[in-house]
């Protein structure tokens, strides 16, 4: 690539003064339509050339960017993008705009701008990202929902992607307690992924949430967009919690971005036999904070002074308590019957009784304890989000 920038010297934080502002905005929009040139290179180019217009010219002249992007520049019109953004009910925020929150500049490869729908990012409370596998387990889904509930309940917002699985569970959990969430798309702002996710994106927006994308309207969700999308999640959030992820998962990428820019990384352990536990366990081994419940995250953020609660032992007695104790790990009704020395109908009856009380669930024919969230009580939650977080707003 005919790029004369010295790769060893990182570009300064932020953007050059006046970059993409005012008359330079149209060329900035044109730059957002590029697909081949990496954000890191565009950021360097901006510092070398000083303005979006000059950057466009450098690419057009073949002094920077990829040949594909040089051709693409011929077809893109900043005004067209602007009107497509308007048609999608979205807005564009470039450097210097309120929606372009300062946190994004923590990235070595910040976005040229972001496309936004809903409540301004700057008005959202501090956010914790909850990420994990699209193909999550029932347990993972429940854990993500429970964490999101617990975090949203104290006034934090929750950031995640817009995919199924853990992403969806995180949004659902926060919305259930009236919390706010931020969904970051791996596609154009008019093209939520997955298609069936439209319903829940509108619920996010109704609940004063925000939907964010780095790409202009018309960009389809594509696997190569997701690693880049993940860096935005890391940047927007104060901390990242990984719930479930297989080896080499997208969650790992999000966690790596988070570590690169100094965000705290938390991970929820799972059964060591499950492939979905790979990423969280690897992160924990490498120093991420182990999470047993929202209290652990709140504690880490300095928001929750009380000792993190363990899974609260429900007030049970007799045979029900024995059945509960037998479920330290997910178990068959057969095993519970054997341990308690009761008949199989009795064991089924005990376990179903616990299930009806919301303490136990049946997953794939085995019974397991439900992940439970103890709502933070008022005397413990003396530190509120707004006062305790320096970078709020």
Closer CB to other proteins, residue 33 or residue 323? Answer: 323
Residues that bind other proteins (CB under 8 A): 134-135, 137-138, 164-165, 194, 196, 246, 271, 273-276, 330, 332-335, 337, 344-346, 348-353, 355-358, 362-366
Cβ-based nearer residue to other proteins, 134 or 292:
134
| Residue among 4, 16, 6, 213 nearest 105 (CA) | 16
Provide, rounded to whole angstroms, the least separation between the CB of residue 298 and other proteins.
27
Half-sphere exposure of 93 (CA within 13 A, CB side): 23
The minimum distance between CB 256 and other proteins, in angstroms, equals 22
- Least distance to other proteins, CB of residue 370, Å: 12
Residue among 117 and 359 whose Cβ is closer to other proteins:
359
Minimum CB distance to other proteins smaller for 112 or for 139: 139
Supply the minimum distance, in Å, between the C-beta of residue 163 and other proteins: 8
Measured distance CA(358)–CA(329) in Å, rounded: 17
Give the span between the Cα atoms of 287 and 281, in whole angstroms: 10
Q: Which is nearer to other proteins, 106 or 349 (CB)?
A: 349
The conformational region for residue 140 under phi > 0 = left, psi -120 to 50 = alpha, else beta, is: alpha
Taking the complex as a whole, how short is the minimal distance between the CB of residue 365 and other proteins, in angstroms? 3
Residue 57 CB, nearest approach to other proteins (Å): 44
Least CB distance to other proteins at residue 330 (A):
7
User: Which CB, 6 or 273, lies closer to other proteins?
Assistant: 273
- Minimum CB–partner distance for residue 206 and other proteins (Å): 14
**Residue 11 or 130 having the CB closest to other proteins:** 130
Q: Output the smallest distance, CB 183 to other proteins, in A.
A: 16
Nearest 10 degrees: CA dihedral of 168, 235, 388, 242? 40
Looking at the Cβ atoms of 111 and 140, the one nearer to other proteins is 140
> Which CB, 164 or 252, lies closer to other proteins?
164
| Cα separation, 168 vs 152, whole angstroms | 15
């Amino acid at each position: 690539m005919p790029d004369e920038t010295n790769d060893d010297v990182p570009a300064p934080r932020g953007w050059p003064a006046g970059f993409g502002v005012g008359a330079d905005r149209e060329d900035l929009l044109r730059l957002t339509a590029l697909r081949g040139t990496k954000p890191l290179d565009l950021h360097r180019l901006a510092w070398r050339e000083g303005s979006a217009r000059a950057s466009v010219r450098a690419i057009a002249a073949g002094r920077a960017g990829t040949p594909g992007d040089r051709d693409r520049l011929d077809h893109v019109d900043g005004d067209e993008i602007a009107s497509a953004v308007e048609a999608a009910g979205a807005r564009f925020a470039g450097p210097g705009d309120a929606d372009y929150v300062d946190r994004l500049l923590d990235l070595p490869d910040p976005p040229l701008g972001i496309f936004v729908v809903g409540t301004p990012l700057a008005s959202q409370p501090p956010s914790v990202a909850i990420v994990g596998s699209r193909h999550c387990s029932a347990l993972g889904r429940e854990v993500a929902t429970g964490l999101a509930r617990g975090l949203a309940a104290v006034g934090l917002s929750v950031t995640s992607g817009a995919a199924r699985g853990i992403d969806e569970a995180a949004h659902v959990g926060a919305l259930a307690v009236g919390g706010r969430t931020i969904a970051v798309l791996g596609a154009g702002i008019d093209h939520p992924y997955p298609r069936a996710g439209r319903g829940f994106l509108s619920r996010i927006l109704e609940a004063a949430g925000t939907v964010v994308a780095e790409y202009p309207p018309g960009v389809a969700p594509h696997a190569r967009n997701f690693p880049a999308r993940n860096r935005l999640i890391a940047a927007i959030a104060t901390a990242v919690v990984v719930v479930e992820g297989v080896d080499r998962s997208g969650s790992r990428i999000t966690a790596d971005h988070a570590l690169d820019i100094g965000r705290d990384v938390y991970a929820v352990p799972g059964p060591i036999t499950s492939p979905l536990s790979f990423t969280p366990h690897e992160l924990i081994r490498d120093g991420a904070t182990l999470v047993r419940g929202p209290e652990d995250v709140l504690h880490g953020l300095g928001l929750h002074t009380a000792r993190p609660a363990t899974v609260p032992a429900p007030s049970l007695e007799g045979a029900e308590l024995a059945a509960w104790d037998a479920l330290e790990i997910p178990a068959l009704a057969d095993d519970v019957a054997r341990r308690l020395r009761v008949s199989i109908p009795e064991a089924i009856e005990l376990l179903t009784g616990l299930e009806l009380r919301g303490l136990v669930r049946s997953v794939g024919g085995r019974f397991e304890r439900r992940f439970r969230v103890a709502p933070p009580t008022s005397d413990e939650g003396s530190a509120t989000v707004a006062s305790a977080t320096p970078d709020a707003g």
